[in-house]
Amino acid sequence: MITPQDASIANEKLCLMAPIIPVIVVEDPAHAKPLATALVKGGLPVLEVTLRTPAALEVIAEMATVEGGIVGAGTLLTPKDVAAAVDAGAKFGVSPGATDTLLDAVEEADLPTLPGAATSSEVMRLLERGYTVQKFFPAEANGGAPALKAIGAPLPQVRFCPTGGVSMRNATDYLSLSNTLCCGGSWVAPKQMMIDGDWDGITKLAAEAAALPRS
């Protein structure tokens, strides 16, 4: 059983591996291995596969076999999601928000998880439980980098992976903040590029994202 403190330490290490964690939505399991390979080759080894498609668990299992990649499950909502993600080979989890039921489940499953928070009260509640590394979601809809900077003023001990509306255009706004460890973004794995099998193009996008500066 993992503690919130140990989960935060584990996730901080993951977040520091690259400035961007790809947020991946894959509908065709055949895309899993080449996509993971392309992203890792481009310098983005930490991969979040969202549980938003019927293929997601199979995709996690396939990506987990790619050398150099660390695959996690996003959109964890229930204990059932947690169990399925662990069985598929997920090494970390990400949730859009946080409930006691979900946090109990990820801790019991020994799955280091980035719990989502959108307000100061939610951040404080997670901090009270022991989570010092959290997901800020949905980032842009909640005021973007200025809002995250404002949250950091009274809560400097919490650091974040902002996700939701983050792109190459605004990623550096977040990455320049002292309370941002990395960002989550989907632009590095465009659906059409996957359909076209443009893995070199995805590697190029990943390399550009991997080169983004951090504070």
8 A C-beta contact, residue 136 and residue 162 = yes
Write out the two tokens for 149: 């900077």
Q: Which is it for strands 113-114 and 93-94: parallel, antiparallel or unpaired?
A: parallel
Residues 51, 134: Cα–Cα separation, whole Å: 19
Could you report how far apart the first and last alpha carbons of the chain are, in Å? 33
Task: Check 58, 135, 191, 208 and give the catalytic one.
Answer: 135
Task: Check 13, 48, 58, 140 and give the catalytic one.
Answer: 48
Residues 139, 136: Cα–Cα separation, whole Å: 6
Residues 58, 71: Cα–Cα separation, whole Å: 12
DSSP letter for 18, please: -
Beta bridge partners of 21: 184
Active-site residue, 67 included: no
Active-site residue, 48 included: yes
Closest CA to 112 of 155, 62, 60, 73: 73
Active site residues: 48, 135
